[in-house]
Structure 1
Amino acid sequence: MTVTDATASGAQAPEVSLPVALVVVDTGLPHLDRPFEYAVPQALSDAAQPGVRVKVRFAGQDLPGYVVERRARAEHTGRLAPIRSVVSEEQVLRPAILRLAEELAEAYAATVGDVLRLAIPPRHARAERALPMAAPDGADFTLSTDPAAWSAYPAGQALLRRLIEGDAPAAAWCAAPGAVGPEEDWPAAIAEAVGLTLLGGRGSLVVVPDHRDVERVDAALVRVLGPGQHVRLTADQGPQARYTSWLRVLRGHVPVAIGTRAAAYAPVDRLGLIVVWDDGDDLHEEPRAPYVHSADVARRRAAIEGAALILGGFGRSVRSQALVESGAVRSVTVTRAYARDHAPAATVAGESDTEQERDAGARSARLPTPAWRAAKEALASGPVLIQVPRRGYVPSLACRTCRARARCPNCQGPLKLDAAQAFPSCGWCSRQAPGWVCPVCEGTQVRSLVIGARRTAEELGRAFPGFAVLTSGAGTVLSRVPGRPALVIATPGAEPVADGGYAAALLLDAWALLDRPSLDAQPETLRRWLAAAALVRGRSLGGVVVVCGAPPDGAAPAVDALIRWDPVWLARNELTARAELGLPPVAVFAEATGDRKTLAEIAQRAGIASGATAFGPLALPSGDSHRLLLRTTTEAAPGLSGELRAIRAERSARKVAEPLRIRMHVDDPD
């Protein structure tokens, strides 16, 4: 389909070279997700180059778009509508990013426009005018030819050698345990890999989960490369600052970019390395369509641009393990002997018979005697980290008599306590429930199901008088704490770095993480525990980690993997189990939400197109819509995605009013 316009007179004047432009128009409509031909007016011929933003007439209105190609002839035989204007002469859409957007759209049953909205930030005219076009003189930097941060990895030197030689290795990297100095920790390792890539004449891209990780990598890059070699790309910069940083990458002012999720699309020139840190963190997953994961974006982009890829973390995600076993990436880890010597000594409170004889409640108590004793001893030499799975005061309540979950009388949301003397309030509608009565037994008293970080801080402050109590979590996240004795209570992901490392860490309410109704419960629990344990001093320096509240039967692989510091073992076991059950990443799932009749039709069509197995449709708790799950093999996934894209396009063309949400769960190891 090609847009025509009677006003295109003279648009194809002989003096215009390549008078036809192929334009990706941001229509927002799936059935129009393809480039359209437009005529290039003579006045815009020099400006309307591939990659620039333009305005075009489409369906009676001016819409934004990107020029992706200039042609000598049009495929359409009639008149072409002219490009209305060139918004900016900045060539913001690189060919490699367009190819990446097309590939992601095909894999995730999405549109190219969905991906480009994530990849290219909104234009900020003032930033474009303020930033000079020419790159400043490059700053010099020096780098050791024998980077210290990679010396503990048997495969580390080979990886770095290939980076400096311009190769494109792919690695799943398990960072070394033990709290080490800034010259040897994981940000330093990333900075050294980036520096060696830069010595080889190529740029790098580093994607991390949150702003605290950005700050640590930023400091490491300044320390290793010197100032002026990189920019930060984060949402908290503000529109102008972030667009200015993005332009500096686009115009070649800097060869390195670091940032959170959206930084995976940064237009780094001569891209040679992409690093994704902690790829198991759900912050890497885009909450908007097409719901892509940073690791998948990085993997596909590395293949397109011939760049190296490092998927790093203290743990090993099942996704990364699938890539290792498929041969797509190589495993980079420390030796078992190194892990034993440098990881803190991890124990389970109440595990030994002696402890159970001394304290019968050692396994069930929230802060059992062995954990209290370990914290007391550790406070003599440094700070103690206490990881609490839940934020708030008491985030979950139950009836004291029958143990039924306490729910809001208004909306059935979970009740919680925000302070010691407060009335129960709803976690959904925020209404208070001062006169709550249990609908099961008519009881009026409540008890806590899970204790939050603030209540934990109160309890531990009384248990350890005379020591400072610091909290880090939602609302107040600490980056660093001093190395003097103190209690640091933090929720997972908000643990601050302690100067010199923590003397001990207590991992409370282990059951709350292990019992979550999630496919990733075990790997995610281990990931959170390893992130906390990695901040603790090594075994040789007296560092200890105590797991509190583990299941009494001992059937928790995450606990075993923590004690042995063996995340690869857990990831391999998880992958084997999922292969037997046909679960991701061995299989691909698609999720569709809508009315029952539509979902039944989708199930039939998807089964024919890709041999997908349908689960549902099943009514959602709200009762307003239904959900359908489709499972297929990784080999048949393109057929399933293509059929779902076709269904979206057909509904869009027919202007079907009923909402339909489609989401692909893609964890393809091939």
Structure 2
Amino acid sequence: MTLSRRIARVLLDSPLPQLDRLFDYALPAELGDVPLGVRVRVPLRTAGRVVDGYVVELDSEDDADRPLSEVESVVSTVPVLPDQLHRLARRVADRAAGSESDILRLVIPKRQVRVEKSWTGDSAPLVPADSALTAADRVIATYDGLSDVLGDGGRAAVEAIPVAHEDARGWAALLASAAARTLGDGRSSILVVPDHRDLDRLLSALDGAGIPPETVVRYDSRQTNPERYRAFLRSLEDAPCIVVGNRSSVYAPVRAGLVAVWDDGDPLLGEPLAPYVNARDAALIRQEQEESALLFVGHTRTTDVERLVARGWLRDVRAARRVLPRVVLSTPQEMEQPTAQRMPSSAFLSARSAAAEGPVLVQVSRPGFAPSLVCAECRAPARCPHCGGPLGAKHRGAVPVCGWCGRGARAWSCPVCSSTKLRLASSGSERTADELGKAFPGIRVIVADSAHPVERVADKPALVVATRGAEPIADGGYRAVVLLDGPRMLQAPDLRIGEACLRWWSNAAALAAPGAPVHLVGVDGGVARALATWTQSAYARAELAERAPLHMPPAARVALVEGTAASVARGLAALDELALPADAVLGPVPVESDDYPPRVRALVRFDYGAGARVAATLRAAVVAEAVNTRRGKGRSARSALTVRLDILDPEL
């Protein structure tokens, strides 16, 4: 009779791609019962060291079958990696050709012993009062079909009503109401927002919706390590809760009945760390796995979401009674009039009359005084003589300072005409406030940008000059909104710049008071028409139609393959078996860097149906190159081959 021994299959917490799999370890008897999902310490035979890991599976086998290393210790008995989180992280990593441990590193905080010892894990289930649920149902009823989506675990793209934040129909109130209804049904919710400003607004809406504060769990980068770990432990409990946070909160280990993402076009929802997964893609995978309700809410519609709507994957949900801002277009022809400098007369007169009654918002593209300078003689851009960065000025007569290295350029001379005189070529938020302050005598001027954050302004006469995304909330809404620098914004070298501008302008227009004018200055064409008629989804459809023949995202998926010439060639050769179209691969082309050996880069375009096969093939190539490097066949400070799927558009 053969004896059996216990086996633990452990996922190592390691960034090495060749270690992204489960390893078998023997569980010694002295460790006792080891639950699934706990942290353990295990030896790495080849490295001669001990690393952290998570117990994913438990099994047993005969002692004599094979030699196995033993689990050294159990770090904690708290199961921080439940099965649903492991399966979600594995699927997300496989889709992005990345490592599961890289996903888990974003989700599971570092252990805090004091917090863990004080955690009981038995919070009492709480539900909102009947009056709060009734109020939530009224808000949900203002959107056609939203109640059915929440009740049936459906998927929807929701066009938020563009009203002031305090209005009970605003986007924050909508998410709070959906979460309250889900909590009333005994299920948890995950509400994902891009930044701390949206997070604070949503927390305020949850408080106003009558939701018990004990059920609200905040996931926020501003939290301390103990606060983050305490919030994570609360989300492990069986009692339903509402998780509110930034992009990583989409992985919260709750049994979600609702996942809602606000403003999915915001680049802050894209993870800057490997494997670079957008919260939108993780939410889609999670909904498919858990069959929870899924909402993408926004004032605009991204091409990614519109593609899913067109394919019938998402339901198009709109308000039963649409409330549209009053958008006034100031065309480029109007800007050419002699009296129009930066703001046409119609927008100027509207802003001046509105400023006598309450706050007026003026949106600009850039912060600072003069972010860019040019030669006063030949108009050549002024660049830093040390690094080539753009020179800017903090105020009139100030020493030019490089925007990249921060060095002053006291003795600057133009390399084209040798002139030493500079001219202010652009107006930032501070220069705009200075100029408008002279044109609006007696009116308080408020600057809101990254250097001067302002969360809220009172319902009093004021002129608020804000950069895009930094607009404060106005009590009662702005009496007028003026959107400047539109042509400059649209000139950015970005495939989605029209989409991004429409999102910036729509979010600013939503801050206006009912009936207040919204002036878009100097822009015409499809983007301006979409804002004026509030048909952002139609603009997204038109963008998709233009990108489809070019196989550009999101009509197709794109992978970036970078490494040495030999490693990239081997990685691309592995794709030959997939029978991709002849024009699927673009490149490779050299990468400008000081690395040796030189690195090259290639793009691979493929349909969504081939995504799993392409990701698996490229991941296998990355692992093969990593193993070869480890064996001494190549030595480099950087990985011989790196792969990134669904890259950001500027990198195209």
- TM above 0.5: yes
Out of 236, 246, 251, the position equivalent to 1:265 is: 251
SS in 2 for 1:237: coil
Per-residue CA deviations over 1:258-301 (Å, capped at 9, x if unaligned) read 00011111111x31000000000000000000000001111101
Q: Does 1:343 align with 2:324?
A: yes
**CA distance in 1 between partners of 2:424 and 2:461 (Å):** 30
Q: Would you say the 8 A contact 2:479–2:517 is kept in 1?
A: yes
Partner of residue 226, structure 1: 212
- C-alpha displacement of 1:27: 2.9
Equivalent positions of 1:447-596 (< 5 A) are 447-539=423-515, 543-550=516-523, 554=524, 556-596=525-565
Tell me: CA distance 1:436–1:91, structure 2 relative to 1, closer, same or farther (3 Å): same
2:588 aligns with 617
Q: Aligned partner of 2:305: which letter? A: S
The residue correspondences of 1:156-171 to structure 2 (distance < 5 A) are 158-163=145-150, 165=151, 167-171=152-156
Q: Displacement of 1:578 after TM fit?
A: 1.2
Paired position in structure 2 for 1:7: none
Question: CA, structure 1 residues 602+360, in 2 after alignment: closer, same or farther (shift >3 Å)?
Answer: farther
Answer yes or no: is the 8 Å Cα contact 1:610–1:640 preserved in 2.
no
Separation of aligned partners in 1, 2:350 and 2:216 = 43
2:127–2:184 CA contact under 8 A, matched in 1: no
Residues 446 and 610 of structure 1, relative CA distance in 2, 3 Å threshold? farther
Structure-2 separation of matches of 1:654 and 1:55: 27
Superposed CA deviations along residues 606-635 of structure 1, whole A, max 9, x for unmatched, are 344452622222234446543221112222
CA contact (8 A) 1:350 1:370 kept: no
Identity of aligned residues (%): 38
| Pair 1:174–1:666, CA change in 2 (3 A) | farther
CA RMSD of aligned residues (A): 2.2
Task: Give the C-alpha shift of residue 641 in structure 1.
Answer: 1.3
* Secondary structure of the structure 2 residue equivalent to 1:450: coil
Q: Secondary structure at the match of 1:62?
A: strand
Letter in 1 for 2:109: P
Deviations along 1:175-204, whole A, 9 cap, x unmatched?
A: 012326342211111111111111222110
Question: Residue 250 of structure 1: which of 205, 221, 236 is its match?
Answer: 236
SS at match of 1:220: helix
Which consecutive unaligned segments of at least 5 residues does structure 2 have?
none
**Are the equivalent residues in 2 in contact too, given 1:108–1:666 (CA < 8 A)?**
no
Q: Deviations over 1:92-124 (max 9, x none)?
A: 112111111111121111111111111212211
8 Å Cα contact 1:52-1:92 kept in structure 2: yes
1:547-601 deviations in Å (ceiling 9; x for gaps): 1232xxx3x3211111111111111111111112211112111112333443344
Question: Is 1:54 aligned with 2:32?
Answer: no
- Corresponding residue for 1:6? none
Sort the Cα spacing of 1:334 and 1:424 in 2 relative to 1 into closer, same or farther, 3 A: same
Q: Tell me the amino acid that sits aligned with residue 585 of structure 2.
A: A
The correspondence of residues 92-111 of structure 1 with structure 2, limited to 5 A, is 92-111=80-99
For 1:318 and 1:74, locate their aligned partners in 2 and report how far apart those are by CA, in whole Å: 55
Matching residue of 1:360: 338
Aligned counterpart, 1:184: 169
1:29 maps to: 16
- Aligned partner of 1:393 in structure 2 is 369
2:61 partner SS: coil
* Residue identity in the other structure for 2:384: C
| Structure 2 residue corresponding to 1:382, chosen from 339, 358, 362 | 358
Q: 1:314·1:531 contact (CA, 8 Å) conserved in 2? A: yes
> Are positions 1:210 and 2:195 aligned together?
yes
**CA–CA distance in structure 2, aligned partners of residues 54 and 598 of structure 1:** 35
Report if the CA contact (8 A) 1:394-1:417 is conserved: yes
Cα distance, 1:483–1:607 mapped onto 2, change above 3 Å: farther
Instruction: Identify the residue that residue 649 of structure 1 maps to in structure 2.
Output: 623
Q: What are the superposed Cα offsets for residues 512-554 of structure 1, whole Å, 9 maximum, x if unpaired?
A: 2111111111111000000000000122xxx01111232xxx3
SS at match of 2:416: coil
Would you say the 8 A contact 1:285–1:291 is kept in 2?
Answer: yes
Residue type of the alignment partner of 2:614: L
Equivalent pair of 2:162/2:170 in contact (CA under 8 Å): no
Larger mean Cα displacement after TM superposition, 220-229 or 231-240:
220-229
Helix, strand or coil: the match of 1:241? helix
Give the Å deviation of 1:58. Answer: 1.0
Structure 1 counterpart of 2:184: 199
The 2-side partners of 1:208 and 1:369 are apart by 38
Q: Tell me the residue number matched to 2:103.
A: 115
Distance 2:443 2:475 in 1: 17
**Residue 29 of structure 1, CA deviation:** 1.5
1:76 & 1:27 partners in 2: Cα distance?
29
Q: Look up the match of 1:435.
A: 411
Q: Which amino acid aligns with 2:291?
A: G
C-alpha separation between the residues in 2 aligned to 1:117 and 1:545? Answer: 44
Distance 1:75 1:526 in 2: 65
Question: What is the distance in 2 between the residues matched to 1:75 and 1:384?
Answer: 77
**Gap regions ≥5 residues in structure 1:** 1-11
Native 8 Å contact 1:136 1:253 kept in 2: yes
Q: Is the contact between residue 326 and residue 517 of structure 2 (CA under 8 Å) also seen in structure 1?
A: yes
Match of 1:369 in 2: 345
- C-alpha separation in 1, matches of 2:484 and 2:617: 47
2:304 paired with 1:303: no
Q: 3-state DSSP class of the match of 1:88?
A: coil
Q: Is the 8 A contact 2:3 2:62 kept in 1?
A: no
Report what 2:29 is aligned to: 42
- Relative to 1, partners in 2 of residues 1:610 and 1:464: Cα closer, same or farther, differing over 3 Å? farther
Equivalent of residue 174 in structure 1, options 156, 159, 164? 159
**What whole-Å deviation, never above 9, does each CA across 1:421-480 have from its counterpart, x for those lacking one?**
321111111111112122222232223343211221211112212111112221332221
What is the CA–CA distance in structure 2 between the aligned matches of 1:300 and 1:434, rounded to whole Å?
55
In structure 2, relative to structure 1, the CA distance for the partners of 1:446 and 1:161 (3 Å cut) is same
| CA–CA distance in structure 1, aligned partners of residues 269 and 78 of structure 2 | 29
Listed one character per residue, the Cα deviations across residues 195-248 of structure 1 (whole Å, up to 9, x for unaligned) are 111122211000000111111111111222132221111010111111111111
Give the TM-score, by structure 1 length: 0.90
Does structure 2 retain, via aligned residues, the 8 Å contact 1:31–1:652?
Answer: yes
Distance in 2 of aligned mates of 1:526 and 1:345: 15
Give the Cα separation in 1 of the matches to 2:424 and 2:528: 25
| DSSP-derived class of the 1:291 partner | coil
Letter in 1 for 2:225: P
- Looking at structure 1, the residues matched to 372 and 226 of structure 2 have their Cα atoms a distance apart, in angstroms, of 41
What is the one-letter code of the residue matched to 1:113?
Answer: S
State which drifts further: 317-326 or 634-643.
Answer: 634-643
C-alpha change, 1:515 and 1:385, in structure 2 (3 Å) is same
The residue type equivalent to 1:99 in the other structure is: R
Partner of 1:9: none
SS at 2:65 equivalent: coil
Judged with a 3 Å threshold, the aligned counterparts in structure 2 of structure 1 residues 219 and 293 are, in CA distance, closer, same or farther, namely: same
Is 1:240–2:226 an aligned residue pair?
yes
> What SS class does the counterpart of residue 75 from structure 2 fall into?
strand
Q: 1:487 to 1:74 in 2, by over 3 A?
A: farther
Whichever residue aligns with residue 232 of structure 1, its letter is R
Q: Which stretch shows the higher mean deviation, 299-308 or 433-442?
A: 433-442
Question: Alpha-carbon deviation of 1:253?
Answer: 5.1
Q: Which range moved further: 631-640 or 383-392? A: 631-640
Distance 1:598 1:447, change over 3 A: farther
Q: 1:578 is aligned with what amino acid?
A: R
